């Protein structure tokens, strides 16, 4: 996939996050301050606008770097800071390569997850985005020889399962940890945002 193809794919997928604004806000309100819906939706809209104006010669790494910087700058928050640091580190693994494949994408994701875990002092089971992200990467690793549609569906299935499991967990990190047991029954907002993003990628692919 070239940088131009990646930018268009992302641009078409991001509206899914805008559509999830209320859902994410409600989930975040159950375990935090309720601003994640606004943060994610606003960031997604800004990124989509930025990607629409990128040069056709931009590399995949450049596309990701621009996207994450715009997202983090638009609505500063702990979530966008962690996500930004992770994806930015992952994007560096691409260098100036003209194209990206599933293996390179997996490497980006693994690096991003490691940075998010380190900076957030969290792990799978702590009720964070990692509970959806890490299983989805494991699913991608198991479907590298498949089609993009198969890879995406495997990632969505794994991320959905991980997201649903967060509803049974007591948060251990961040502001959500203050809420404790009261957050049970509600899926983690960050994990849900990631799941909706994957669903947006799938919808974008179906339209292309």
Count helices and strands in the chain by DSSP H and E runs? 11, 0
- As a whole number, mean pLDDT of residues 11-40 equals 90
Count of structural domains, the chain: 1
Q: Can you give the pLDDT at residue 206?
A: 65
- As a whole number, mean pLDDT of residues 169-198 equals 76
Structure tokens that stand for 2 in this block? 């070239």
- From the list 61, 67, 62, the residue with the least C-alpha distance to 47 is 67
Best-predicted range by mean pLDDT among 28-32, 164-168, 201-205? 164-168
Spatial separation of the C-alpha atoms in residues 34 and 113, rounded to whole Å: 24
Q: pTM of the full predicted structure?
A: 0.92
49 or 78, which is more confident: 49
Task: State the CATH number of the domain containing residue 182.
Answer: 1.25.40.340
Reported as a single tens digit per residue, the pLDDT across 64-77 is 999 999 998 987 78
**Residue burial 183-201, b: 16+ Cβ < 10 Å; e: rest:** bbebbbbbbbbbbbbbbbb
206 or 88, which is more confident: 88
Structure tokens that stand for 18 in this block? 């805008």
**Residue 172 in this model has a pLDDT that exceeds 70:** no
Q: Cα–Cα–Cα angle for 90, 23, 184, nearest 5°?
A: 90
Q: Can you give the pLDDT at residue 196?
A: 98
Instruction: Please state, rounded to an integer, the average pLDDT across all residues of the chain.
Output: 91
Query: Among 9-13, 41-45, 160-164, 171-175, which stretch is predicted with the lowest mean pLDDT?
Result: 171-175
- For 76, list phi and psi in degrees, rounded to 5: -55, 130
Reported as a single tens digit per residue, the pLDDT across 130-156 is 999 999 999 999 999 999 999 999 999
Query: Domain span at residue 149?
Result: 3-207
Q: What's the distance, Cα to Cα, between the start and end of the chain in Å?
A: 13
């Amino acid at each position: 996939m070239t940088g131009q193809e990646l930018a268009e794919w992302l641009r078409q997928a991001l509206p899914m996050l805008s559509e999830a604004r209320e859902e994410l806000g409600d989930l975040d309100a159950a375990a935090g301050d309720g601003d994640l819906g606004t943060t994610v939706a606003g960031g997604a809209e800004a990124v989509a606008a930025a990607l629409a104006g990128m040069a056709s010669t931009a590399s995949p790494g450049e596309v990701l770097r621009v996207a994450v910087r715009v997202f983090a700058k638009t609505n500063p928050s702990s979530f966008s800071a962690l996500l930004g640091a992770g994806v930015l580190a992952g994007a560096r693994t691409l260098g100036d390569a003209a194209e990206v494949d599933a293996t390179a994408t997996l490497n980006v994701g693994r690096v991003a997850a490691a940075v998010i875990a380190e900076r957030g002092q969290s792990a799978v089971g702590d009720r964070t985005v990692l509970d959806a992200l890490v299983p989805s990467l494991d699913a991608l690793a198991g479907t590298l020889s498949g089609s993009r549609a198969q890879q995406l569906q495997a990632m969505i299935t794994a991320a959905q399962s991980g997201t649903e499991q967060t509803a049974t967990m007591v948060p251990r990190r961040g502001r959500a940890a203050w809420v404790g047991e009261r957050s049970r029954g509600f899926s983690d907002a960050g994990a849900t945002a990631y799941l909706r993003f994957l669903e947006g990628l799938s919808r974008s692919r179906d339209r292309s």
